[in-house]
Amino acid sequence: MQETLAGLQVVRFRYGPDYWEKLAYNGGIMANLKKNRLLYCMLPFFFLAELIALLRLMFGVRPTAIHAHWIVPQGIVMALAAMTVRAKPRLICTVHGSDLSALQGSLWRWLRRWVTACSDQITTVSEQLKSRLVSEGCAAGRIGVIPMGTDLRGLFVPGCGAPGKAAILFVGRLVLGKGADLLIRAMPEVIAKHPDATLLIIGGGPERDNLGRLVLQLELTQYVTFAGPIAHDELARHYRDASLLVVPSREEGFGLVVVEALGCGCPVAASDLPSLRTLLGEGQFGLLFPAGAIDKLSVAICEMLSNEAASRSMAWQGRSSMLDQYDWHEISRRYAALIALPSAMEAA
């Protein structure tokens, strides 16, 4: 099936009947596999269908470059497909984090080294991910860092109105790694000090039902609202309406929601993880708290809600930093330059 999105041609592939095509979306492949182990049976069909779809495109379109996202499975598919043609296109693979953290063991480490060796360039969305790849034996010379970007000049921009009072926001997939449960557990202490505090949770995923039960258990139904997944264009309004974005992740490859929030001038409190620490300028643009520490999380939220002027000031400083590094124009320029470079075969 083919369609056009934002002026780009999109080609989709089928890997099974409608009722079995449940691997992707709604939290991602790894989350869906944990939720329904029968889906493991679909992995060979997914992999084979993706390989066939790419081969058809390669022989039909004859691309000058292929850019795969995630080493597994897309990077593997890209490397295998490239072995079938004599004039190899430039091969680029981007690592986002889950293809490292969720896939452990000697086999996966070997596959990551193999894809790195086959690719002209590996990019990671953070320095931390690059360091992890290098520690596994991947060639450092083939790995560059290009973070994720977003529209910080047209969409994620500050608003004119005042944010809602003590309006706390969570944006992300509802999976364990994103830590929405930690934020919900912190809310009773926050409400004790800020009785007008509310929490809006935007996103969907396999943990939605568990989180709903947790809200009931803690008697927070009047304070917590689940908005579900929303259109990307609508996110900016929620950032502008919020007093604070909280990113309570247990693990994080990059943290694009931090960039989006700061772009809108929304204060941020986030887990003290390497990627989030970098985005927040070591705490210069937002408040950091130890990952997984619910008591410290509630203290950080209360501190930012009690010091609105200081919180907003940090966010505005953060916006200036985000514009210089993460605006789409800058990121697209860097990828365009990368794709334009000669391939390893041509250079030889």
Residue 348 clears pLDDT 60, i.e. is over it = no
The answer on 282 and 208 residing in a single domain is yes
Highest mean pLDDT among 36-40, 129-133, 236-240, 252-256: 236-240
Determine the 3-state secondary structure of 307 from DSSP.
Answer: coil
Residues 220, 183: Cα–Cα separation, whole Å: 12
The answer on 57 and 7 residing in a single domain is yes
Sheet containing strand 121-124, strands side by side: 65-69, 90-95, 121-124, 143-145
> In this structure, is residue 208 part of a structural domain?
yes
The answer on 190 and 317 residing in a single domain is yes
- CATH number for the domain that contains residue 27: 3.40.50.2000
The answer on 234 and 205 residing in a single domain is yes
Determine the 3-state secondary structure of 321 from DSSP.
Answer: helix
Quick: pLDDT tens for 282-317: 999 999 999 999 999 999 999 999 999 999 999 999
How many other CB atoms are found less than 10 A from the CB of residue 217?
A: 10
Could you tell me if 158 and 264 are in contact, meaning their C-beta atoms sit under 8 angstroms apart?
A: yes
> In this structure, is residue 159 part of a structural domain?
no
Provide the domain limits for residue 47.
Answer: 2-149+329-347
The answer on 72 and 38 residing in a single domain is yes
Secondary structure letter of residue 291 according to DSSP: T
> What is the percent of the chain where pLDDT is above 70?
96
Query: pLDDT confidence of 116, banded at 50, 70, 90?
Result: very high
Query: pLDDT confidence of 27, banded at 50, 70, 90?
Result: low
> In this structure, is residue 162 part of a structural domain?
no
pTM, two decimals, is 0.79
The answer on 192 and 119 residing in a single domain is no
Task: Please give the pLDDT value at position 233.
Answer: 86
The answer on 203 and 104 residing in a single domain is no
Query: pLDDT confidence of 347, banded at 50, 70, 90?
Result: very low
Q: How many domains does the chain have?
A: 2
The pair of three-digit structure tokens given for residue 294, joined into one six-digit string: 């619910």
> In this structure, is residue 41 part of a structural domain?
yes
Secondary structure letter of residue 166 according to DSSP: T
The answer on 191 and 124 residing in a single domain is no
Residues 102, 326: Cα–Cα separation, whole Å: 26
Q: What are the distances in angstroms from CA 56 to CA 3, 9, 178, 229, 233? A: 17, 15, 37, 33, 33
The answer on 186 and 65 residing in a single domain is no
> In this structure, is residue 342 part of a structural domain?
yes
> In this structure, is residue 73 part of a structural domain?
yes
Between 224 and 39, name the one with better pLDDT.
224
Task: Please give the pLDDT value at position 172.
Answer: 95
Helical residues (DSSP H) of 36-193, grouped into ranges: 43-61, 76-82, 98-101, 106-118, 127-135, 180-193
For the stretch 213-217, contacts whose Cβ atoms lie closer than 8 Å and that sit 24 or more positions apart, written own/partner, are 214/181, 214/184, 214/185, 215/184
> In this structure, is residue 225 part of a structural domain?
yes
The answer on 201 and 128 residing in a single domain is no
Identify the residue whose tokens are 């897309």.
74
The answer on 288 and 251 residing in a single domain is yes
Between 97 and 176, name the one with better pLDDT.
176
Query: pLDDT confidence of 341, banded at 50, 70, 90?
Result: low
> In this structure, is residue 213 part of a structural domain?
yes
Determine the 3-state secondary structure of 89 from DSSP.
Answer: coil
Query: pLDDT confidence of 345, banded at 50, 70, 90?
Result: very low
The answer on 242 and 135 residing in a single domain is no
Q: What are phi and psi of 297, to 5 degrees?
A: -65, -45
Between 137 and 346, name the one with better pLDDT.
137
